[in-house]
Structure 1
Amino acid sequence: MDYTAAQSGFRQQHNMRLRNSSVDRPDGSQLFDDTSAAVPGPEGAYRNQQAGPQAEGLPGHSFLSDPMSNLAVAYGSSLASQGREMVDKNLDRFIPISKLKYYFAVDTVYVGKKLGILVFPYMHKNWEVNYQQDIPVAPRFDVNAPDLYIPTMGFITYILVAGLALGTQNRFSPELLGVQASSALVWLIMEVLAVLLSLYLVTVNTDLTTIDLLAFSGYKYVGMIVGIVAGLLFGRPAYYLSLLWCCAAIFVFMIRTLRLKLLSEAAAEGKLVRGTRNQLRMYLTMSIAAAQPIFMYWLTYHLIR
């Protein structure tokens, strides 16, 4: 009995407190102030963190606006520009970047015409390189100008076709393909070095550069690719026929191209090719042209079986 009465009295006191808390004060204000906004939640804490540097006077902004820091940034940028100029100058000393840009200045029309001349040079009449103010025009404007695009792509395509040929014969391996690529590159370098040595011994004054010789020596990869593809598609007789055609074409191409370069001094002086020096120049031209079919056969015959 006493427990029940005490419990009912407690409930009445609790209900009276709830009713008093929900009643507003006579002056229109609440009996208890809402203090929920005083407790910062996650969003409030994030806003306080964002507003922190502003409240503290923005030290990062003051650092960036410091004259000494601006001077340090300007000095660092000047050092970077000077370092880049020094690297470009030293790099151009060993690797003529500006000259290489000339040899890669080609377009689709030039590549198509050049490939046609390399495969069928017999109908081409004018073999002279055009000049503009003693500077040869870019290859895309003159089909007779040497380029490095076709030799580079020809070398890469030759390696890929060689890998395909080895794969069809169940002889493919990364090591063998690497040997094939390194062998072709070494023979190309040796050929260019031999020509440079021959020009030095014969004392030929010519405007041929090392890059020109590299370009002319790299044109033979076009005929090599044609021979390998013909051999893969139609057998060994097709390989010999197509390679023979391409060898004759590259021989004629080299003769007609190099004779204007190696015999330019004699032509300018109005001399006939009868002297000892001129005969050596002619023999050198014939030797360079005759070496192309030899290399073409040497680098391709083992790929066709």
Structure 2
Amino acid sequence: MDFQQHGHRATKPRARASPPSGGPLLFDDTSSGPPPMNNQNYYSSGYNMAEVPAGGQEPGVGSLFADPMANAAMMYGSSLANQGKDIVNKEINRFMPVNKLKNLFAVDTKYVMKKLMILIFPYTHQDWEVRYHRDTPLTPRHDVNAPDLYIPTMAFITYILLAGMALGIQKRFSPEVLGLCASTALVWIIIEVLVMLLSLYLLTVHTDLSTFDLVAYSGYKYVGMILTVLCGLLFGSDGYFVALAWSSCALMFFIVRSLKMKILSSISADSIGAGGSVKPRFRLYITVASAAFQPIIIYWLTAHLVR
């Protein structure tokens, strides 16, 4: 069939005109698809992962620590921190000697058992002298006559728990009453220690008794208080007063014999000058008054727990 007979004319494909050689292109030729991507140029323009070390640290950080100025600054900062730590420890030891406090808690089971027996039955104990090693008292673990804070602390906690149980048995328990009982017992210890410190200061008594030692001797009364409350709960008022009398006498004997080695033995020849006989007498009065005050506190803190 002839295409011209049907009114159609065969057309030939139009050739694409090429730009004149050497002339600039107004638009890119994208008719044949996108240009191939150059992978090397693409990754080189970004972050080169091969340059990161295996530990994940950037190269600049390592160079920072290799800088002598940075090392000097770090050493100077470390020295300042150590100096500050030493100053803080010195101030803490000034008001609260940590080493002394650690020694007062250096106890073992053998010491605790012996100390409790001495507090309850002090009349059979003969040697009351505190032993020293190079002008330093031995720890309670090595000397049963040395004061400690472990027994007073545990006895105080046990007394508070026993007071709560006694109030609960009598159906009088409440958090307010238990808190008042605990705070009253703590305040009495503080008052007793302050009075002792003031008395020793006014009489210029030079002794190695520290504040923690006075707290320890004052806190031993809680052992007798526990025994008194237990006897009151088990045997009534008669058992309470019998235990109160026994605990009070035992504690007074213990306080007199213990403080006698600390206070009266510190009298030297130069303190017995003109009128020097007055000071030893007053020192004896302090020891006896401190011992005689213990039964009053025991009765005050335990009488309301037993009815």
Scaled to the shorter chain, the TM-score interval is 0.7 to 0.9
Q: 1:238 to 1:100 in 2, by over 3 A?
A: same
Considering only aligned residues, what root-mean-square deviation do their CA atoms show, in Å? 2.8
Q: CA deviation at 1:51?
A: 5.2
- For the pair 1:303 / 2:305, whether they are aligned, the reply is yes
Q: CA deviation at 1:203?
A: 3.8
Q: Name which of structure 1's ranges 107-116 and 77-86 shifts more when overlaid on structure 2.
A: 77-86
Q: CA deviation at 1:291?
A: 0.7
What's 1:195 paired with?
A: 196
What's 2:16 paired with?
A: none
Aligned match for 2:291, one of 289, 292, 296 = 289
Q: CA deviation at 1:252?
A: 0.9
Alpha-carbon distance between aligned partners in 1 of 2:253 and 2:177, rounded to the nearest angstrom: 33
Q: 1:50 to 1:239 in 2, by over 3 A?
A: farther
Alpha-carbon distance between aligned partners in 2 of 1:251 and 1:50, rounded to the nearest angstrom: 82
Q: 1:294 to 1:50 in 2, by over 3 A?
A: farther
Residues 53 and 59, structure 1, Cα contact 8 Å, conserved in 2:
no
Alpha-carbon distance between aligned partners in 2 of 1:188 and 1:195, rounded to the nearest angstrom: 11
What's 2:279 paired with?
A: 277
Alpha-carbon distance between aligned partners in 2 of 1:76 and 1:204, rounded to the nearest angstrom: 47
Residues 258 and 285, structure 1, Cα contact 8 Å, conserved in 2:
yes
Pick the structure with greater CA Rg: 2
Q: Name which of structure 1's ranges 125-134 and 229-238 shifts more when overlaid on structure 2.
A: 229-238
Q: Match for 1:286: what amino acid?
A: V
- For the pair 1:114 / 2:115, whether they are aligned, the reply is yes
What's 1:177 paired with?
A: 178
Q: CA deviation at 1:154?
A: 1.5
Q: CA deviation at 1:50?
A: 7.2
- For the pair 1:59 / 2:25, whether they are aligned, the reply is no
Q: CA deviation at 1:266?
A: 4.6
Alpha-carbon distance between aligned partners in 1 of 2:263 and 2:213, rounded to the nearest angstrom: 12
What's 1:206 paired with?
A: 207
Q: Name which of structure 1's ranges 235-244 and 252-261 shifts more when overlaid on structure 2.
A: 235-244
Alpha-carbon distance between aligned partners in 2 of 1:256 and 1:268, rounded to the nearest angstrom: 22
Q: CA deviation at 1:101?
A: 1.7
Q: 1:234 to 1:80 in 2, by over 3 A?
A: same
Between Structure 1 and Structure 2, the one with more helix by share is: 1
The aligned length equals 257
Q: CA deviation at 1:262?
A: 2.1
Query: Tell me, which stretches of 5 or more residues in structure 2 are unaligned?
Result: 1-38, 40-46
Q: 1:103 to 1:62 in 2, by over 3 A?
A: same
Give the percent of matched residue pairs that are identical in Structure 1 and Structure 2.
Answer: 56
Q: Match for 2:155: what amino acid?
A: G
Q: 1:59 to 1:253 in 2, by over 3 A?
A: same
Alignment of 1:1-305 (within 5 A): 53-54=52-53, 58-266=59-267, 275-305=277-307
Alpha-carbon distance between aligned partners in 1 of 2:224 and 2:165, rounded to the nearest angstrom: 17
Alpha-carbon distance between aligned partners in 2 of 1:105 and 1:173, rounded to the nearest angstrom: 36
Q: 1:202 to 1:64 in 2, by over 3 A?
A: closer
Alpha-carbon distance between aligned partners in 2 of 1:85 and 1:51, rounded to the nearest angstrom: 47
Alpha-carbon distance between aligned partners in 1 of 2:53 and 2:198, rounded to the nearest angstrom: 75
Alpha-carbon distance between aligned partners in 2 of 1:214 and 1:177, rounded to the nearest angstrom: 22
What's 1:4 paired with?
A: none
Q: 1:201 to 1:135 in 2, by over 3 A?
A: same
Q: 1:243 to 1:73 in 2, by over 3 A?
A: same
Q: Match for 1:283: what amino acid?
A: Y
Alpha-carbon distance between aligned partners in 2 of 1:54 and 1:277, rounded to the nearest angstrom: 80
Q: Match for 2:79: what amino acid?
A: S
Query: Tell me, which stretches of 5 or more residues in structure 1 are unaligned?
Result: 1-37, 39-47
Q: 1:59 to 1:165 in 2, by over 3 A?
A: same
Q: Match for 1:79: what amino acid?
A: L
Q: 1:49 to 1:214 in 2, by over 3 A?
A: farther
Q: Match for 1:142: what amino acid?
A: D
Q: Name which of structure 1's ranges 122-131 and 152-161 shifts more when overlaid on structure 2.
A: 152-161
Q: Match for 2:166: what amino acid?
A: A
| TM-score computed with the length of structure 2 as normaliser | 0.75
Alpha-carbon distance between aligned partners in 1 of 2:129 and 2:269, rounded to the nearest angstrom: 14
What's 1:19 paired with?
A: none
Alpha-carbon distance between aligned partners in 1 of 2:269 and 2:140, rounded to the nearest angstrom: 25
